[in-house]
């Protein structure tokens, strides 16, 4: 059973180097698909990690970048890990061990050092049931049958959820491998990153249309109000919620930005609907 490891990257050579250093001596094919516009990443990969294969990315976002790496891969299985992740010892071996009679393997993803700060982004999959693109493996023939990641998602946001939806719709066999551990260090985003994350909500509009959950104008408006009210009620009535400071901040931020975000969501709902 041959594995290919695919690492999409874009202008983050220092993080990529940490990821590659966590994959020493592996017999698996390692492919770095680089969406950067300069030669820095290619130069250091070819100099310091000659066992990895560098590819020029398509410059159409992370979904297309992952697909580029998958098309170039020779393995029967495709293992995806992000450039800002740190595969732990035994990661690939655990994926291989879990892969026998299933179609997809989810790895365990932890964010060591994560705090309750609202200006921090982190991704985790501690117990399974979440197909994050930063740590999973899939049979090559299955990936091709699903046509890979949907390249209509031009930024990071929703493309792995949409793939997970298609995996579920196809009734594919999925297994969680807790020993296939990847550390995904938390990332500080600041105010600029917070605004960027707010406007990334348009990709959730695309996700809804892709999964048949498109909404009419009045339904969209009601849905967004109800969602905020539910989140507010949850904070007021439930104790011992995880990440309380983060939750409080994001609910307050959502109410504060609601007059601007709602028209934005409705615009993108309409725009994606017009393309169908």
CATH fold of the domain at 3-188:
Spore Coat Polysaccharide Biosynthesis Protein SpsA; Chain A (3.90.550)
Both tokens assigned to 259: 């007059």
Both tokens assigned to 143: 């990936």
Please report which confidence band the pLDDT of residue 94 belongs to, taking 50, 70 and 90 as the band edges. very high
Confidence at residue 1, expressed as pLDDT on a 0 to 100 scale: 56
- Report which DSSP code applies to 214: -
What are the backbone dihedrals phi and psi of residue 237, each rounded to the nearest 5 degrees, phi first?
-110, -15
Residue 182 has pLDDT above 60, yes or no: yes
Sorted by where each begins, the domain ranges of the chain are 3-188, 190-275
- What percentage of the chain has pLDDT greater than the value 90? 66
Q: How would DSSP label each residue in 8-55? A: EESS-HHHHHHHHHTSTT--SEEEEEE--SSSHHHHHHHHH-TTEEEE
Evaluate if pTM is beyond 0.85: yes
Alpha-carbon distance 141 to 37, whole Å?
A: 31
Please report which confidence band the pLDDT of residue 276 belongs to, taking 50, 70 and 90 as the band edges. low
Confidence at residue 273, expressed as pLDDT on a 0 to 100 scale: 79
Per residue in 188-219, pLDDT tens? 888 998 898 888 888 888 998 898 877 776 77
**Residue 112 burial (CB count, 10 A):** 10
Please name the residues in contact with 165: beta carbons below 8 A apart, sequence gap of 6 or more. 210, 211
Residue 125 has pLDDT above 70, yes or no: yes
Per residue in 225-247, pLDDT tens? 898 999 999 888 887 888 888 89
Residue 164 has pLDDT above 90, yes or no: yes
Contact yes or no for 20/50 (Cβ under 8 A):
no
CA distances from 21 to 51, 52, 122, 207, 252 (A): 11, 11, 22, 35, 41
Residue 15 has pLDDT above 90, yes or no: yes
Confidence at residue 63, expressed as pLDDT on a 0 to 100 scale: 97
Rounded to the nearest angstrom, the gap between the alpha carbon of residue 185 and the centroid of all alpha carbons in its chain is 14
Please report which confidence band the pLDDT of residue 88 belongs to, taking 50, 70 and 90 as the band edges. very high
Per residue in 22-73, pLDDT tens? 997 677 999 999 999 988 899 999 999 999 999 999 999 999 999 999 999 9
Contact yes or no for 182/85 (Cβ under 8 A):
yes
Query: In 3-state terms, what secondary structure has residue 203?
Result: helix
Contact yes or no for 80/137 (Cβ under 8 A):
yes
Confidence at residue 243, expressed as pLDDT on a 0 to 100 scale: 84
Confidence at residue 217, expressed as pLDDT on a 0 to 100 scale: 67
């Amino acid at each position: 059973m041959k594995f290919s490891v695919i690492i999409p990257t874009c202008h983050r050579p220092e993080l990529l180097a940490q990821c590659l250093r966590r994959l020493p001596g592996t017999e698996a094919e390692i492919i770095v698909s680089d969406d950067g516009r300069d030669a820095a990443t290619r130069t250091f990969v070819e100099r310091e990690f000659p066992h990895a294969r560098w590819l020029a990315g398509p410059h159409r976002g992370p979904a297309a970048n992952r697909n580029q790496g998958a098309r170039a891969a020779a393995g029967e299985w495709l293992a995806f890990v992000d450039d800002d992740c740190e595969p732990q010892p035994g990661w690939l071996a655990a994926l291989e061990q879990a892969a026998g009679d299933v179609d997809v393997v989810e790895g365990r993803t932890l964010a060591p050092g994560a705090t309750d700060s609202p200006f921090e982004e982190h991704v985790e999959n501690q117990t399974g049931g979440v197909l994050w693109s930063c740590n999973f493996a899939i049979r090559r023939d299955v990936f091709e049958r699903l046509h890979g990641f949907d390249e209509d998602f031009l930024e990071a946001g929703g493309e792995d959820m949409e793939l997970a939806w298609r995996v579920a719709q196809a009734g594919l066999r999925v297994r969680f491998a807790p020993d296939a551990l990847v550390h995904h260090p938390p990332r500080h985003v600041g105010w600029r990153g917070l605004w960027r994350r707010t406007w990334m909500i348009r990709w959730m509009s695309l996700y809804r249309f892709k999964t048949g959950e498109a909404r009419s104008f009045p339904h969209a408006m009601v849905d967004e109000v109800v969602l905020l009210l539910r989140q507010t009620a949850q904070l007021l009535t439930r104790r011992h919620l995880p990440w309380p400071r983060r939750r409080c901040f994001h609910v307050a931020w959502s109410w504060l930005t609601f007059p601007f975000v709602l028209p934005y969501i409705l615009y993108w709902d309409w725009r994606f609907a017009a393309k169908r």
